Structure 1
């Protein structure tokens, strides 16, 4: 046995273990920070790809319907699913815009009347602000706006740049969604083929389970958002019927940001009713919003979302907070699905399979794999399939025989 190094006896085993854990944790933290920095710098590309993945798992059942029921090719079914989604979104935006235009004039007049009532209360109420004092405050506000005109202009230019980025991202997302629907398995096969041969099967199986978790999250979140939108929209229809649909659409979109989105959109709905109808209807609307959010938080989220993503509500709250701190609204929007997919993948790689019924009968086919026994994708266009393009093979047929076609 070699003699101990000088001074080794002065370092206890606990200190050595702590040092070993420390440098590994620092390395992992540095890798995570570097990854987040790269994703932030490339957010114009990363965010559209993430949106495309969500749209793909949402539109895949629609694509399969067009293929099986209407006997379309894979390309035409992918295009039809994407085009149908665009029609639905455009119809909702158009209808909401018409409702806003028709109700905005009445809301503006009510807001002006409410502002005049506020000024009267400030002058005649307990504060006792006379008209001269109020005029001086208004003059100070106008001078502040004129002094910061350059900042306002630069902010408007920044907003125009952001709109340009959003449009570019939307085009990238639509483009990627179409090709994910059309050639998703081939793209995944190519990606897994970049890995060492011994790692391909485990990564492929983990990826399958991650996609199932992502699909479950997307569909469950749509259901939860729809319940929020319908409940708050019906409540708003009693007080501001011309703005009920826009408010419902706003709540639906905002509900995709867990915890935060429902609160913010609910506050907007209450403020609109306050401006339009006054304090009593606003309090009633607040009660409706709280009731809907209680149903979501105590019934829908624990049973539906908890089953779909297997994350504790505390974990969801912390993940949303961390995502919002790291990347703003976009980070809060994608924090929960990313955490859910990572949870499923990491559990599988550590031997805890959330979907044991899937088995491991499918493995990815890439060039260089031994015995590429092909099982064709049942939804694929047969004119385009080949041994190189086919994404999966029967892994349990290890005898070298021909795989059974699904």
Structure 2
């Protein structure tokens, strides 16, 4: 018998032996105990069932949840763990936000002019684009647009001041007559105040003015001390607006290159979309403010209200603060109409202001601004309140554009679409090994 046949016989006998063992194990009833065998390294002894109690051994630790890392975490209720996780994360976010607010308030003398320059650049950017398409040099086109815009602002303010100076004497005389009419109404109206009551209220008002004279004086002094800051901020606005208009694309590309490569395209897409939103918002706001000023100014001229042009200019400037700006400036027009022409004309002007506001809110803004810069009114109110608290009138002016820009940026960053490949991008493909 050859060696191969002997090896084949051994393999067959081992296979038959294993098959007989399997058949015997299958035919053994469950209640028949298996004979004990001695444990050996090749055949270890029987393993205790999961429910068995081993004498002298420590009890097994309870199974941990996938969200826990120790028994201490497993003993804490799941809801409490989630609440604690949210709490410390919110605390960290709050601390970072507080530090950011403190930093902005510390360097507000720089942040506010830059924000105003950004708004001014968004307003004048289309005009610069027109001049560049007319093949003017970039620096010349930017300077022409900036100088023309500055001349328009200075000319408008000059006309407003001149109109105001001309009408002050007439308005002062009519104000005295209006105050006399108010006193007569307080006496003969539903309040039925006597001369003694009126004198007492006037004395209290005079006493209040005397007590607060020091505060008024200190406020005037502080205003005088901030004149240098205002001048510095104005110069910074002009220089920043010039370079934003001329080199804005270059500045943005430099900022994007500071980011990781994987995030550059996404951030660049969100930034350019946000800039388009800001341009659309500023242009739409200017158009809406112009319509408001013209609408209210026409009725002021029709009813021969003094300071018609200055009041229309005030409405135009106030319309840059959404919801409340044009309303407050229109309220000034109503007061002037009350003093000059009486309560009937004042009520008519009030109706005109309310009507213009309704047309603005329900027709002009949705039609002109569109969905790209649509913001919920609650977000507008909260943003205005926060802006007024943090930076006064400037904060109210910047708050809503900032919310619109952040809204667009967050939506673009959260979108799962891949931005289009830039036309100047160079794609290098590696060869397969």
- Global fold match (TM > 0.5): yes
Provide the residue aligned with 1:388 in structure 2.
none
What SS does the aligned partner of 1:220 have?
A: helix
The 1:75–1:138 alpha-carbon spacing in structure 2 relative to 1, beyond 3 Å, is: same
Provide the residue aligned with 1:379 in structure 2.
none
What are the Cα deviations for residues 252-307 of structure 1, in whole angstroms up to 9, with x where unaligned? Answer: 11111111112211211111111110000001111111110110111122333352
Structure 1 segments (4+ residues) deviating >4 Å: 1-4, 123-133
Which residues of structure 2 form unaligned runs of 5+?
Answer: 1-59, 65-69
For residue 131 of structure 1, report the CA deviation from its aligned partner: 4.3
What SS does the aligned partner of 1:174 have?
A: helix
What are the Cα deviations for residues 204-226 of structure 1, in whole angstroms up to 9, with x where unaligned? Answer: 22111110111111111111111
Match of 2:110 among 12, 37, 45: 45
Provide the residue aligned with 1:119 in structure 2.
183
Whole-angstrom CA distance in 2 between matches of 1:262 and 1:291: 12
For residue 158 of structure 1, report the CA deviation from its aligned partner: 1.8
Provide the residue aligned with 1:252 in structure 2.
316
Which residues of structure 1 form unaligned runs of 5+?
Answer: 363-392, 401-406
Whole-angstrom CA distance in 1 between matches of 2:280 and 2:189: 55
For residue 170 of structure 1, report the CA deviation from its aligned partner: 1.6
Matched-pair contact (CA < 8 Å) for 1:220–1:308: no
Provide the residue aligned with 1:154 in structure 2.
218
The 1:321–1:248 alpha-carbon spacing in structure 2 relative to 1, beyond 3 Å, is: same
Whole-angstrom CA distance in 2 between matches of 1:296 and 1:162: 36
Whole-angstrom CA distance in 2 between matches of 1:307 and 1:16: 41
Which residues in structure 2 correspond to 1:26-41 (within 5 Å)? 26-41=91-106
For residue 101 of structure 1, report the CA deviation from its aligned partner: 1.5
Aligned pair count reads 364
Matched-pair contact (CA < 8 Å) for 1:240–1:273: no
Are 2:428 and 1:394 equivalent residues in the alignment? Answer: no
TM-score by length of 1: 0.82
Whole-angstrom CA distance in 1 between matches of 2:130 and 2:366: 31
Which residues in structure 2 correspond to 1:281-320 (within 5 Å)? 281-320=345-384
Matched-pair contact (CA < 8 Å) for 2:305–2:336: no
What are the Cα deviations for residues 347-374 of structure 1, in whole angstroms up to 9, with x where unaligned? Answer: 1111167xx9xx5333xxxxxxxxxxxx
Whole-angstrom CA distance in 1 between matches of 2:184 and 2:305: 29
Provide the residue aligned with 2:27 in structure 1.
none
For residue 139 of structure 1, report the CA deviation from its aligned partner: 4.0
What SS does the aligned partner of 1:394 have?
A: coil
For residue 129 of structure 1, report the CA deviation from its aligned partner: 4.5
Whole-angstrom CA distance in 2 between matches of 1:186 and 1:124: 70
What are the Cα deviations for residues 46-100 of structure 1, in whole angstroms up to 9, with x where unaligned? Answer: 111011111112111211222332x321111111010000111111111111211
Matched-pair contact (CA < 8 Å) for 2:306–2:340: no
Provide the residue aligned with 2:44 in structure 1.
none
TM-score by length of 2: 0.77
The 1:134–1:173 alpha-carbon spacing in structure 2 relative to 1, beyond 3 Å, is: same
Could you say which structure has the larger radius of gyration?
A: 2
Are 2:81 and 1:16 equivalent residues in the alignment? Answer: yes
What SS does the aligned partner of 2:307 have?
A: helix
RMSD: 2.4
For residue 127 of structure 1, report the CA deviation from its aligned partner: 4.7
For residue 237 of structure 1, report the CA deviation from its aligned partner: 1.3
Matched-pair contact (CA < 8 Å) for 2:315–2:326: yes
Provide the residue aligned with 1:361 in structure 2.
421
Whole-angstrom CA distance in 1 between matches of 2:227 and 2:327: 25
Provide the residue aligned with 2:155 in structure 1.
91
